[in-house]
Each structure stands twice: as C-alpha cells, then as structure tokens.
Amino acid sequence: MEWPSHGGQPTQIKKLFTLSEQHPILDFSANLNPLGPPEWVRDAWIDSFNQIVVYPDPSYLDARTSIAEREGLRPEQVVLTNGGAEAIFLTAKRVQGGKALVIHPTFGEYEQACAHYGIHIERLYLNEAEQFAFPYEQVLEAISNVDVIFLCRPNNPTGTAVEENSLRDIMDLAVHSGVLVVIDEAFADFMISPNKELTTWLETYSNLVLLRSMTKMFTIPGVRLGYALTQELTASAMRADQIPWSVNSAAAALVPILIRDTTFVKATKEWLIEQWTSLRSNLIALGYDVSSTCTNFYLLRDPQRIEQTQELYVFLLNNGLLARHTTTFPGLDGRYLRLAIRSSQENEQLLQLLSRWRVES
Ligand SMILES: Cc1ncc(COP(=O)(O)O)c(C=O)c1O
C-alpha cells in the first residue's frame, strides 16, 4: 500500500481505503491550529485582489522588513519563501553534493531536499526507549563528517525539542567545523515549554539558519508562506537561488499583518496549554502512551497492543477520525499514530473512540 507522505490528505486516504466521498472525516493528521485562520485574513485576502494585476515586488522588501522588525534583525537577513518547504530546499542547495546529518524520526522533507541536490545522508535516531531523547553525544561525534545538520525544533512527529544547552554545544562545534546548522522552527510559535528565542544566536553563529512557517500557526497551508533567517551572505545567496516571484502578491501582502498579530499567537498558546493538560491526562488515564510534546501534536500508541497500530488507525478512520500514520517515518515504522491537538469537542470525540477501541476491538 502506498501511503501519502504528508498529513492532511483526507481525499487520498478515502481513495486508499475505498471509503465513499461522503464519509465524514475529522482531520487530526495535519498539525494546523484549529483556532485559525484569524478572522481578518479573509478580508485582507479579498482586499489584495486588486494586486493580482501587477507583479509582486521581486525583493519582497515590505514583507522582509516587517519580519526583520519583529525579529530584531536586518531585512538583508530575511528570505521570504513559498512555505517552510521552499526554505528547506534553499538551505539544502547551499551544500549541493555534500553530506547531511538527519536525526529521525523527523520531517521527511529534509531527505527529499537532500536527494534533490545529490546530498549524501548520515542518519541518527532519537532514543525511543527514553522518551525520544536527543542523541546528543552521537550528534557531536558526527558533526565533523558532514556539511549540514537539519534539526527540527520542536520535532515533527515527536513534538519533543532538543534542549538549549545541547543545542549550544552543537552550534559551537559546528561553527568551528564550518558546518551549516539548519533549525526548522515551523512549530516554534506553539512551544508551551519556555522557549528562548534563537534569533539572537544569529549574532554569534554565522553558520545558523532558522526556518519558519506561517502555515501551522495561522492555518493557511494553501497560502504558502514561510521565511528563513540567517546571516546576510547566506540569505543573499538563498534569495539568488529562488525562482523569481516564488511568493504571490496576495500572500506577500499578508505578511506584515500576520507578523504583527501577536495577540492571536498568545491566545493560541494559552488555549493549547489548557487543551493539552486535560487531553494528556485523559489519554494516560485510558492507558495510552503519549510522547512528551511541547507543541500542538503528539505521538500515541496503545502499549497493550503495540502490534496493532494499523488496526487502530483503520478503526479511527472507519469512525470518521483521520490520524497521521507513521509508516513513512524511519525510526517509527508505523508503530505510533501522530495526532494534532484539536478543539475540545474534537478531542472529546477522539477520547470516546479510544475508549471504545479498548472495549470493542
Ligand atoms: C517541520 C516542518 N517544517 C516545515 C514544514 C513545511 O511547512 P509549509 O507548509 O509552510 O511549507 C512542515 C509541514 O508539515 C513541517 O512539519
């Protein structure tokens, strides 16, 4: 069976499982903010209609300046991208034909970008037996053999985050060895544990590239907006590698407003903390294992029936709830399900199904 390689694809999944188009689906497979998009996005999008008759500013200076102001950086350090995905490919291109370190299970796009640019991949694995602990020592050992390290913080799909002290050691060694460190912060806005902003690290580390996505927090996967933050030379090389006008004008016009909407981000975090606190304790009370996430999704497995994760997936799907399978994540190989944290009503539906799974299956 050929599984889709991303979450959020209910139509393909229905086809794969020969379910009718009308089969109801609550989508827990894409890690999107259920509170979004903010209400003003619709009006802003409609307002930008007039701009479709002109080309976007190819330098995206307004958008980049608004990001730079918010991050305390210079616009020259910002690359506006067509989603976080374009930013990943642009960083991979920096080390075309070289070697990369990827720590699994993690987001599949790093390997795809590496394959695209002929980059050889060294793989390490989070320690599943110790709550997906980060393989700190092994990473330090591997650094001098590679040209780039891709780190996902918080990590998709585990929701865990490498500790700041470990990260600092990695950065120190990597800068010394001339290794590029790409930290994908697509989910950093959601971090419910203390999250020191890494942007100030750009002053110290010329080898650091931070990747951001506006997709997840603002629930705009169809808009395609992301950005990279790095030192000026790297940023300028990345911009030069972009397809001209890779971000459309309506999307670019949203950036200054999105970046200033800190109220929405704050409200989301408060909501998330409340949701996860109660959901987590309910899942544990039902006897499920959950990963120690610090963001808006988590891994789940039934310790009483570890071998039957696929049956659990199908049981949920048949009952209208779409989880993210983990068969395409090396290091998980289908033994867990990844679930987004949804609204309290939807989370309640999940809990009801998971308690039925205990009794009925
Ligand atoms: C860790 C991570 N980085 C980047 C992306 C890409 O985000 P975007 O939709 O903005 O391209 C995703 C999407 O799932 C992701 O999970």
Beta-carbon contacts of residue 359 (< 8 Å; ≥ 6 apart): none
Distances (CA, A) of 73 to 76, 170, 199: 8, 23, 8
pLDDT of 193: 77
pLDDT of 223: 97
Same fold, 10-30+263-360 and 40-260: no
Structure-token match 């909407």, residue found: 261
d(CA 304, CA 330): 23
**CATH code of domain 40-260:** 3.40.640.10
158: nearest Cα among 193, 126, 195: 126
d(CA 239, CA 316): 44
199: exposed, middle or buried (C-beta count within 10 Å: 0-12, 13-18, 19+)?
middle
CA 119 – ligand 1 centroid, Å: 20
pLDDT of 185: 98
CATH number of the domain at 10-30+263-360, out of 3.30.565.10, 3.40.50.720, 1.10.580.10, 3.90.1150.10?
A: 3.90.1150.10
CA 85 – ligand 1 centroid, Å: 6
Beta-carbon contacts of residue 11 (< 8 Å; ≥ 6 apart): 21
- Contact between 265 and 192 under an 8 Å Cβ cutoff? The reply is no
Give bridge partners of residue 149 from the DSSP assignment.
Answer: 101, 181
> Both tokens of residue 319?
């009952």
pLDDT of 23: 81
Backbone angles phi, psi at 135, to 5 degrees: -80, 65
d(CA 189, CA 269): 8
pLDDT of 305: 93
Q: Where are the domains of the chain?
A: 10-30+263-360, 40-260
Ligand 1 pocket by Cβ (under 6 Å): 83-85, 107, 152, 156, 184, 186, 213, 215, 221, 226
pLDDT of 1: 66
Which ranges of the chain have pLDDT less than 70?
1, 4-5
- Contact between 289 and 321 under an 8 Å Cβ cutoff? The reply is no
